[in-house]
Structure 1
Amino acid sequence: MNVSHPQAQSGMSVAILMGTYNAQRFLAMQLDSIAAQCWPNWTIWISDDGSRDASLAIIKDFAQKWGPERVKLLSGPCRGFAENFLSLACNPTIQADYYAYADQDDIWEPDKLRRALTILEENGREQPMLYCSRTRLIDENNQELGLSPLFRRKPSFANALIQSLGGGNTMIFNRAARNLLREAGCVNIISHDWWTYLVVTGCGGSAVYDDYPSVRYRQHAANLIGCNLGLRNRLARLGQLWRGDFRRWIDCNVSALQLISQKLNRENNHLLFKFIRARRDWLLPRLLVLKQSGIYRQTLLGNLGLLFAVIFRKL
């Protein structure tokens, strides 16, 4: 996606939502990259999930430098990363024009916020809007490893039902999208980024995927979720699919979506109903729903995996 940078309204505020847990190794670099953003009007809300290392000291040093009005430290729910991030997204005291998820161990390029806000502003503020992007993969020493997969198909609820499009570390969304997340509440979900994609597209909002990698996504041994690249990672994903992990994740998302079914638009509510029914049916109806509903993943390999999952009842 090519984006010229017209001057967006500099008064627009961004609430950066960061979940931390034992983050001391890379946290200072991530915080410094946020402080170096071309977009100046940000506040960072950090929910720490019970760190036992030097994370809190690093955060307090950062807060001392930038002031208590810019850096807010909260105590997390201590029930995993997804609930930690969702507790921030649903916190009524956090008010801004836009909201950005931030992981504890990445590095943001200086123009990350400006680029995303320019794209979001071009699409208007009235409707729920979600931005996400490709990432540049780095190792523990900030050495480049490559790029995350490039997705070319249009984001939609039909895609969101079976795939999380962008990493949470790239996601920025407007107030209308945040209001949807608050209305849905702190439901039981697998990941905050997948849930955000489902809610925004399911409730009539739009998502945009930017092919420009404005986040340096660190790959290391402690990653809770890594990038799905390389033969080893793809074999690991296939193993998760065969064990039924993918079906369990879908179960969790579907249960959460049913709680907000009245918020989904008519078309997506109908699609969700067909999807639920087909997952319980025998092979031919499952295949027919896959064909007729337009459910899809972003890549050819992903769609072959989807067909595998439908045939062997792993969806």
Structure 2
Amino acid sequence: MNFKALMMSETHIVLSVYNGSRFIREQIQSIQDQTLDDWRLWVRDDGSTDDTLSVLEDIAASDPRIVIHPSDGRQRGVSGGFSWLIERLPDDACYVFCCDADDVWLPDKMELSKRVLCLAEASGPGPLLVHTDLQVTDSKLRTLNHSLWRYLKIRPEPVTLQRLIVENVATGPTILMNRDLIEKACPIPDEVPHHDWWITLVAAAFGKIVALPEATVLYRRHSTNHTGEYDEQTGGFGYWIRKVVRVLRSTDKLRFWLATSARQAEIFLDRFEEELPQEDQDMLRDYSEIPRLAFLKRKLRVLRLRALPGHGFAKNLSLLLRA
């Protein structure tokens, strides 16, 4: 297979940004430094109040591959901004990367991911998603951990629909999707919590997900980005004290995300019910009902559908007690 020919053109990147002037220039420079250089970058400013837009216009003025969508005057949020961009991609957008405004891409990220996706496409048509590990850094790109998967104890497998309705394993800025996946996933519903989670669910249900263990992104954690800073997942006595306090305070947050994922399951079922096997239909219906169940029924349903073997006994017990 001639990978060089396959990887020429048709490659697009979407980037939605809000108040990203501090890091946006460095992120785009890392795209410009990629070993794969035939791409188009579509950017939407989500109503920034800093000088993000002027920085973007300055960068785009010297690089015709970068297109800034004019503002429509509406602030859509992280997922809404990415969804808006994806749904407006041109017809020749066969391969699409998602990009955050505050990270740095390693030089071979695009070429590596696209090579793997092209290999998967050679085995047959259908929705495909490739995602990778990330290297966790602080705001100054000092390494905190060489693997986000190890850092947060993320297991990229299995990618069953039941597992992914509970938790997403594909981190947005590592995602590469093909045209079949874009067409299947769009339009992305306004009510879903994260665009990358929805896209991953669609890939799991109707296509294939390929996880690469290589870190392709310097994943910058700081207090002002969407996901914030992370605490190390192992540590001494102080770490465990902080963890206990967080658990005690996190019941409301857990129930919020339980309700959010249940609503997403309901939306997914409404969209794709006639295309899903009966087993998946039943699982999604049962999961979507969890927040509305009485105390004991809710606990039993959580135990059956949300308590995952890979989470371990302690985490699942904590989930069951607080759900």
What TM-score do you get using the length of structure 1 for normalisation?
0.85
Q: Which amino acid aligns with 2:193?
A: I
Give the CA deviation at 1:218. 0.4
Give the CA deviation at 1:10. 2.7
Equivalent pair of 2:302/2:320 in contact (CA under 8 Å): no
Q: Does 1:272 align with 2:292?
A: no
Q: Name which of 185, 193, 218 aligns with 1:181.
A: 185
Equivalent pair of 2:265/2:285 in contact (CA under 8 Å): no
- Kindly provide the CA deviation profile for residues 55-108 of structure 1, in whole angstroms up to 9, marking residues without a partner as x: 1122112211111xx111122641211111111122254641111110000000
Q: In structure 1, the residue corresponding to 2:61 is in which secondary structure?
A: helix
Change (3 A) 1:216 1:94: farther
Alpha-carbon distance between aligned partners in 1 of 2:221 and 2:193, rounded to the nearest angstrom: 20
Change (3 A) 1:73 1:152: closer
Alpha-carbon distance between aligned partners in 1 of 2:102 and 2:192, rounded to the nearest angstrom: 22
Change (3 A) 1:192 1:304: farther
Structure 2 residue aligned with 1:216: 218
Q: Which amino acid aligns with 1:191?
A: H
Q: Does 1:129 align with 2:128?
A: yes
Q: Which amino acid aligns with 1:189?
A: V
Equivalent pair of 1:134/1:149 in contact (CA under 8 Å): yes
Larger Rg: 2
- Kindly provide the CA deviation profile for residues 260-283 of structure 1, in whole angstroms up to 9, marking residues without a partner as x: 133652142232123234553664
Q: Which runs of 5+ in 2 are unaligned?
A: 233-238
Alpha-carbon distance between aligned partners in 2 of 1:106 and 1:298, rounded to the nearest angstrom: 32
Change (3 A) 1:235 1:35: farther
Equivalent pair of 1:90/1:186 in contact (CA under 8 Å): no
Give the CA deviation at 1:136. 0.4
Change (3 A) 1:238 1:121: farther
Equivalent pair of 1:86/1:192 in contact (CA under 8 Å): yes
Amino-acid identity (%): 22
- In the TM superposition, 1:1-315 aligns within 5 A as 7=4, 9-67=6-64, 70-74=65-69, 75=71, 77-93=74-90, 95-124=92-121, 126-146=125-145, 147-150=147-150, 151-182=155-186, 184-202=187-205, 204-226=206-228, 228-230=230-232, 231=239, 236=246, 239-243=249-253, 244-262=255-273, 264-266=275-277, 267-277=279-289, 280=293, 283=296, 287=300, 290-291=303-304, 297=308, 299-301=310-312, 304-312=314-322, 314=323
Alpha-carbon distance between aligned partners in 1 of 2:315 and 2:307, rounded to the nearest angstrom: 11
Give the superposed CA RMSD.
2.8
Give the CA deviation at 1:39. 1.0
Q: Which amino acid aligns with 1:181?
A: A
- Kindly provide the CA deviation profile for residues 287-307 of structure 1, in whole angstroms up to 9, marking residues without a partner as x: 47754x6x6658435x74344
